[in-house]
Amino acid sequence: MRYLLLLLIPALLAAQGQRPRVAIAQLSHESNSFNPRMTEHADFPQRALSPVPAVLDDWARSKDTVSGFVIGGRRENFDLLPTFVAAAIPRGPVSAAAFERLTGELTASLKKAPKLDGLLLSLHGAMVAEKYPHGDLEVLKRVRAAVGPAVPIVVVHDFHANIAPEMIRHCNALLTFKENPHVDTQDRGIQAARIMAGIVSGRTMPVQAVAKPDMVYNILHQNTFAPPLKPIVDESKRLEENPKVLAVSVSGGYQYGDAEWMGPSVVVVTDNDQALAEREAQRLSRMLWETRDRLAVNLPEPDTAVRQASAAAKTPVVLVEMGDNIGGGSSGDATFILEELVRQKARGWVVMIAEPARSSPRRSAWVSAPRLTRWSAARWTNCTALPCASGDACAACTTASGTSPRPLTEAARSSTRA
């Protein structure tokens, strides 16, 4: 029924002599199921929606998916309509109250919009809500109910999406970023607008297939510019050279989102060729599965890592606590490496620890030595509190045998500026 309605859109637009009116919307969050701090409504800053020309100009200057929607939409001569655009930094699951309020605002903005010919929708793909393990799926269901079955929806996910197969039932095309690090966010937005143009013009009729190998890709192996993922991502790009293939996405999944469909996915969108979509999705899924023997995680324990860093001939050395990934919604307050630095009397080091209770997005935050001693039984000397550029708290410290705090302070300030 949906595809029958889509066939009518080009004729109606031509008869009315109108540009396609396409809405832009976003509700994006990467939710860490293991972080007990819920993400609330106030954590989602919303972008201004008017005046429309100035808003679109502002959005186009960014380098994200929404900017791609604007740039691509303008290339396709869409009459673009900003509706609801909000995103929060990674943290714990979205609370039930926040989820209901946010989805209510999103769907209300779509319902009160003038008649739409399409919707470009940015959803992260790894949202976990308090009552919905796959928050993005629930958002999409509500959006589909709000706009009706006739309005084409093209969704763009982050590379770290945990894609529920049901997603493709509620949208006309689903894409993810191809690259990690995410250097192609704008490109995927532009590609989504191009697919939307094909739909509203009647040139193409997207069909989709999703495949999910039974595996989890640790974030350590999710660099798409190196094996094992690079050859698979390169193949996805090669497939898109086929004019029958509208989009191919290989998502790495998000290991910090403890949901049923956690893990990598392949989504293939073709122009009315379901067999091709199914075949290529399964083939790329097998390519992912065949990398499983190369996915062992061999990381040193904190005591070994500190010894290796202390003995390193080249400096500086960066020690990363992979389990406390602040870019993936963790709290940023793990002290395992910190305690080893103190225990081993390491010299000349800088530690950055988040202290949300003292931080504010509007001012720099500070950490005091008493606070540090409550985190660890270690004895601290030469602690110098520093403001962190992000608003989180930082501390530059040395042990009694370490270097003076002045050069540490300067080094840390240089790193926050970068």
In the chain, where are the structural domains located?
Answer: 2-294, 302-417
On whether the CB atoms of residues 140 and 121 are closer than 8 A, the answer is yes
Report the alpha-carbon distance of residue 166 to residue 353 in Å, rounded. Answer: 39
**What is the model's pLDDT at position 64?**
95
**What is the model's pLDDT at position 373?**
37
Is pLDDT at 391 greater than 50 in this prediction? no
Residues of the chain with pLDDT > 70, as a percent, come to 80
**What is the model's pLDDT at position 380?**
35
Q: Give CA separation, 15 vs 18, 140, 163, 200, 299, in Å.
A: 8, 30, 38, 13, 63
Range 2-294 classified under CATH 3.40.1390.20: no
What are the two backbone dihedrals, phi and then psi, of residue 373, each rounded to the nearest 5 degrees?
Answer: -70, -25
Is pLDDT at 8 greater than 70 in this prediction? no
Residue 321's pLDDT band, with cuts at 50, 70 and 90, is: confident
Residues 6+ apart with CB under 8 A from 375: 333, 335, 338, 353
Residue bearing the bigger pLDDT, 174 or 375: 174
Residues of the chain with pLDDT > 90, as a percent, come to 68
**What is the model's pLDDT at position 396?**
40
- Nearest to 73, CA basis, from 177, 179, 156, 170: 156
Cα dihedral 310→352→385→409 (10° resolution): 50
**What is the model's pLDDT at position 195?**
99
**What is the model's pLDDT at position 12?**
56
**What is the model's pLDDT at position 398?**
36
**What is the model's pLDDT at position 340?**
93
Is pLDDT at 379 greater than 80 in this prediction? no
Strand partners, 156: 122, 175
pTM of the full structure = 0.82
Average pLDDT score over residue span 84-90: 95
**The two three-digit tokens of residue 308, written as one number:** 């290796």
**What is the model's pLDDT at position 412?**
29
Q: Give CA separation, 381 vs 17, 318, 358, 368, in Å.
A: 74, 22, 21, 12
Residue 325's pLDDT band, with cuts at 50, 70 and 90, is: confident
DSSP 293: G
Report the alpha-carbon distance of residue 284 to residue 26 in Å, rounded. Answer: 29
Residue bearing the bigger pLDDT, 21 or 328: 21
Report the alpha-carbon distance of residue 295 to residue 264 in Å, rounded. Answer: 13
On whether the CB atoms of residues 216 and 262 are closer than 8 A, the answer is yes
- Nearest to 22, CA basis, from 144, 110, 141, 139: 110
Mean pLDDT, rounded, of the chain: 85
Residue bearing the bigger pLDDT, 359 or 398: 359
**What is the model's pLDDT at position 162?**
98
Average pLDDT score over residue span 226-239: 98
Is pLDDT at 1 greater than 90 in this prediction? no
